[in-house]
Structure 1
Amino acid sequence: MSGPLPVLVVGDANADLVLRGDVVPRFGQAEQLLEAADVVLGGSAAIVAHGLARLGVPVRLAAVVGDDAFGEATTTALRAAGVDTSGVRVQPGGATGLSVVLAPAHTGGDRAILTLPGTVPALRPDDVEVRDATWVHSASPFLMPAFTEHLAAVLASARAAGARTSLDTNWDPAERWTAVGEALRHVDVLMPNRSELAALRASGALAHAGRLRVVLKDGAAGGRSSGPDGPDVAAPGLAVDVVDTTGAGDSFDAGYLAAVSHGVRDEAERVRWAAVAGSLSTRAAGGTAAQPDLAELRSHL
């Protein structure tokens, strides 16, 4: 097959309401003035898919949205970027998920996230069709507990169809972390940040893992990759004027998977793509507004 290889992304798609400024609530009916508020595309899987499309990768998303204004806005934004949304199921009467991102001023990129799952947990195993995908990336399993009970089988089926697999767990709101243990047996690349990796180790979930590679997101420091099938490598992030770190880890994932799709074989270069894509995404509000296209990313390599 010539050209970039197709990727299937599986997981959450929702709207993000990003609030910046004085966002730490003071109850007692105190009114606070914000610096900015933006409604943008959200959901780890959706942001990864959007980033891949921006980087010239044929990408299809499997997710569930409601038949409401947020659902329509979500699918419209994905299609506008070039994402194949034929795998996005619209649930009649469902409310599309919503995350409220509280981004305080002057905290070095720290933030709090309040999430209404909405239709996100409605994803079913039969929503996932590998078809021609050569890579299947799964995101946010802890937001979809019923689906995650079958995630091991979904990933095993993808592998049996000839695809490689990756997983970005994101944070476990219940802080148990064990629900993905069996699925890790069928993951080729695990893509956590430092806090998530520490929690997975502490829970014992990684004891179930097979011979996977860990591609670690390390914030402003960039990323690193380690595994049994090659050397440990690292790449720095870029120095940019940070506006909002929402979705930066998802753009990091997109950069790494885009490098794979475009035929980059050197692991250090793949991590460099990831670190650059994640860094550039922080220049605007939300997870997708500043995602680079392929020409821009390559100009920073």
Structure 2
Amino acid sequence: MEFDLLVAGELNADVVVECGDVRPTFGQVEELVEDATIVLGSSGAITACGAARLGARVAMAGVVGDDWLGDFVLDRLAERGVDTRYCLRRPGRRTGMTVVLGARGDRAMLTFPGEIGRLAAADVPAEALAAARHLHVSSYFLQYDLWAGLPALVKEFAGTTSVDPNWDPSRSFDHGLPALLPHLDYLLPNEQEAEHIARANGGPLTCGLVVKRGGDGATLNLPGGTALGVDAPAITPVDTTGAGDSFDAGFLATLLRGGTHAEALRVASACGALSTQGLGGTAAQPTLPEALELAGTLTVHDLQETQK
């Protein structure tokens, strides 16, 4: 097949502002911050770039406007070796943008959707699906045009599948996701998202659940009973933007290389940690040798044995 990974996701740029100890104040009050930059944003694009950086063959399906910001997004993807032939430009429309306010390891995000949610299942060509081994869907709750057609698309896809739901601005954590879960191979939320989705789902998951827990590492639970955990590397973050997406890239790229679930967890944890060493989601994403070097220092725990 031509691609290891096809990412169907939102596309936008990020304005990353490192506030330090400063907090925004309304009333026309101007404050000085430590740093600010415009970078490639969006969970899908960061995952795609991270996987390509690790040596995977990656294509992206998404939507941007016909503005300069759309050029910026597609150019950054192409620079990282991501195939953008399946990305759409919508005439007269604007590309999405997120303002990321960082504050000593924490962050707040303000998003102008633009075309972020305008990728429909019909916009993902059959040739793209036929050319890929794995389909990854990012920011499920932001991609409202994808909700209706995604179940059929996933069922028909011949390879493996995954979803990173990200946060739901509506706070319902539903929008058809519970009905989609039985047809997925992996769900990759963070800890807060996992708790909300569990309440919305109301039953046991039948797909692999990979939960990102920040400084507490990550866990993997498979339907057959496998339960693994990995610690997070001891790294002081510069900017945590996109760390979970780089984690996704490491996890998926390792499995697609033929690695075990334990190896995938170690590499994913290393990728997530190393990505925090630069501003924005892609600046510090590791190469495969860099990821493997740090991954080799990490231990995967059998959580079933730990609980005995």
TM-score by length of structure 1 reads 0.93
Q: Structure 1 48/23 Cα, relative in aligned 2: closer, same or farther at 3 Å?
A: farther
Show the counterpart of 1:272: 266
Show the counterpart of 2:283: 289
Show the counterpart of 2:10: 12
2:186 matched to 1:189? Answer: yes
SS at match of 2:31: coil
Give the Cα–Cα distance (whole angstroms) in 1 for the partners of residues 30 and 93 of structure 2: 32
Aligned AA (2:114): G
Is this contact kept in 1: 2:122–2:149, CA < 8 A?
no
Task: Could you list the structure 1 runs, at least 4 aligned residues long, displaced by more than 4 angstroms after superposition.
Answer: none
| Deviation readout 1:63-91 (Å, 9 max, x if unpaired) | 00111111101000000000010111111
Is this contact kept in 2: 1:5–1:262, CA < 8 A?
no
Is this contact kept in 2: 1:223–1:274, CA < 8 A?
no
Matches within 5 A, 1:204-215: 205=201, 207=203, 211-215=206-210
Give the Cα–Cα distance (whole angstroms) in 2 for the partners of residues 210 and 240 of structure 1: 32
Is this contact kept in 1: 2:255–2:261, CA < 8 A?
no
2:245 matched to 1:247? Answer: no
1:10 CA displacement: 0.7
| Deviation readout 1:14-43 (Å, 9 max, x if unpaired) | 000011125522111111001000100001
1:206 CA displacement: 5.3
Is this contact kept in 1: 2:60–2:83, CA < 8 A?
yes
Give the Cα–Cα distance (whole angstroms) in 1 for the partners of residues 294 and 182 of structure 2: 35
> Which residue, 169, 173, 177 being the options, matches 1:173?
169
2:109 matched to 1:113? Answer: yes
1:221 CA displacement: 2.0
| Deviation readout 1:227-283 (Å, 9 max, x if unpaired) | 12352111122122311000000000000001011110x211111111000000000
Give the Cα–Cα distance (whole angstroms) in 2 for the partners of residues 235 and 195 of structure 1: 18
Is this contact kept in 2: 1:23–1:103, CA < 8 A?
no
1:169 CA displacement: 0.3
Aligned residue pair count = 290
SS at match of 1:171: coil
2:230 matched to 1:235? Answer: yes
Aligned AA (2:122): D
1:151 CA displacement: 1.6
SS at match of 1:178: coil
Q: State the identity %.
A: 42
1:146 CA displacement: 2.4
Q: Any unmatched runs of 5+ in structure 1?
A: none
Is this contact kept in 1: 2:118–2:144, CA < 8 A?
no
Worse-matched range after superposition: 123-132 or 79-88: 123-132
Aligned AA (1:298): L
Is this contact kept in 2: 1:184–1:206, CA < 8 A?
no
> Which residue, 256, 260, 273 being the options, matches 1:261?
256
Matches within 5 A, 1:107-146: 109-129=105-125, 130-146=129-145
Show the counterpart of 2:156: 157
TM-score by length of structure 2 reads 0.91
Is this contact kept in 2: 1:223–1:234, CA < 8 A?
yes
